[in-house]
Amino acid sequence: MRINEAWHKANVMPKNATLDQRILRHAEHAKHCACRPVPPPLLELVEKHEG
């Protein structure tokens, strides 16, 4: 798997992120980087966000 270092540096997960922030960050991460999949507990929420 390949990491998009520039994207990661520009899009750090906020400390104590809210659920909405986590969903948005993981959705964007899936679009811009292939280093890891969306965590299973958030996958359905991310898919709904994108749909």
User: Contact, 17 vs 51, CB < 8 A?
Assistant: no
Q: Where are the domains of the chain?
A: 5-50
Instruction: Tell me the pTM.
Output: 0.81
Q: Quick one: pLDDT at residue 33? A: 93
Q: Quick one: pLDDT at residue 48? A: 87
pLDDT tens figures, 16-41: 999 999 999 999 999 999 899 998 98
Q: Quick one: pLDDT at residue 2? A: 85
Q: Binning pLDDT at 50, 70 and 90, where does residue 6 land?
A: very high
- CA 35/CA 19 separation, integer angstroms: 21
The residue among 22 and 51 whose pLDDT is bigger is 22
b/e string for 14-29 if b means 16 or more Cβ within 10 A?
eeeeeeeebbebbbeb
- CA 26/CA 5 separation, integer angstroms: 15
